[in-house]
Amino acid sequence: MFSFYIPDLPKTPNPMIPGHERPLRPWIGWITYLPPNLAARAKLPADIEVEAFADRAALVTLCEEPFGKGDAEGMARLHALEAALRPIQR
């Protein structure tokens, strides 16, 4: 998880606490785990590395090393992954 990204996580109303929001899941980071039910439905960008597991879960990696907010290429990948996962986040 990127420390600079936590305040910007997409949110949805929290049904357990009226008037509050909670981050959508799965949280997106430099490396993101997708459980089998979400990995099967994800339409991921082509330039993102995906490691598939025997149980059909996936580990999605944006790049080799963590990056900062000033890294244009890393941020572009982050936003592409965010847009790709938004339809399946809950």
pLDDT digits (tens, 9 = 90+) for 29-82: 889 999 999 999 999 999 899 999 999 999 999 988 888 889 999 889 989 999
Q: Return the SS3 of 32.
A: strand
pLDDT at 69: 86
pLDDT at 13: 92
pLDDT at 2: 62
pLDDT at 72: 93
Does residue 7 have a pLDDT over 90? no
Helix (H) or strand (E) holding 19: none
Q: Tokens 């357990």 label which residue?
A: 16
pTM: 0.79
